[in-house]
Amino acid sequence: MALQRLPDVVEVLRPSGPDVYGNPVGDWDTPTVVTTTKGLLALPDLLIMRAGTDVRLGDRVTVNGAPYTVTQDPIRARSMTAEKAVVARIEPVDE
């Protein structure tokens, strides 16, 4: 499965700076853009991205500008020899 022609632009975001208690996770006022990649919003809550995409539980992603939160640990879809895609469950961000 070649994932070279995925239609959606995906930005992976992480909070920057410490929170009010000094923990390494800050707020979402000025998030850090971890990566920009291509993906496919396959269902309203399922996002498929290129192999090797650095995305984690709790990250936010924007898909064509719409914000979502990653709600489960992403799954690395593999063949016997290589990672083929990264699949994440997402939900819209309520602001």
Residue 66's SS3 state is: strand
Report domain extents, the chain. Answer: 8-92
Rounded Cα gap, residues 88 and 71, in angstroms: 8
pLDDT at 4: 66
Select from 6, 2, 12, 9 the least CA-distant residue to 56.
12
What's the alpha-carbon Rg for the chain, to the nearest Å? 14
Select from 18, 31, 30, 13 the least CA-distant residue to 68.
13
Instruction: Tell me the whole-structure pTM to 2 decimals.
Output: 0.84
- Residue 1, pLDDT > 70, answer no
Q: Model confidence over 16-63: pLDDT tens digits? A: 877 677 776 667 888 889 999 999 999 999 999 999 999 999 999 999
